[in-house]
Amino acid sequence: MAPPLSHDEFFSSLTTLLSKTTEQAHGSVYLTQKPMPSSESTSSPSILIRASDGNTNAPNPKSANQTGKIAKNRSSKVKFSTVVKPEDLEAFYTRYAEICKTGMSGLKKRDRKRKTKAKGGASKATKA
């Protein structure tokens, strides 16, 4: 496992990973958060955040006889991580949320039509 990145490096890597996935309209991004395993006091542990694209570097067992060819075509796994100290959590997560919002543009956007309709209905109701 590669050593954890700094927050800035983590966010820039995450931005490229998300935009790449959205561009291709294919694939996944996995983000995992859990307390950093440590022997020290557990009242407020650091949070370990991992990101990966869900690929695997292990050879495909089905094509064991021609692994060389398959492995060449498949891009290797992307994974990186960062550690957030308890005092940095709030600042980290505001940036994190912002990056997720902008990066995950493959999701459904807000439905503007319905909102305007509702507004029209409300104004009518107040008039009447």
Partner 1 sequence: MPVLPTSQAFLEQSALLLQAYPETTRITTKYHYPTERRAEKHKRQRSQAKKPSETESTPSTPIAAFVLKTYNPSTGICLKYQTNKLQEVGRLVTGLGKLAAGADVASLGLSGAGPVDVEMVDVNEDGTQANVNANATATANAGAKSKGKKKGGKGKR
Return d(Cα 36, Cα 41) in angstroms, integer: 11
Residue 27 in contact with partner 1, rule: CB under 8 A: yes
| Strand, helix or coil for residue 84 | strand
Contact residue for partner 1 among 107, 125, 127, 128 (CB under 8 A):
107
Return d(Cα 18, Cα 101) in angstroms, integer: 10
- How many other C-beta atoms can be found within 10 angstroms of the C-beta atom of residue 58? 8
Contacts (CB under 8 A) with partner 1, residues 50-79: 54
Contact residue for partner 1 among 12, 16, 33, 76 (CB under 8 A):
33
Q: Quick one: CA dihedral 88, 90, 93, 99, positive or negative?
A: negative
Contact residue for partner 1 among 8, 9, 16, 34 (CB under 8 A):
34
| Contacting positions for partner 1 (CB under 8 A) | 18, 21-22, 25-35, 37, 42, 44-45, 47, 54, 84, 86, 89-90, 92-94, 96-98, 100-101, 103-110, 114, 118
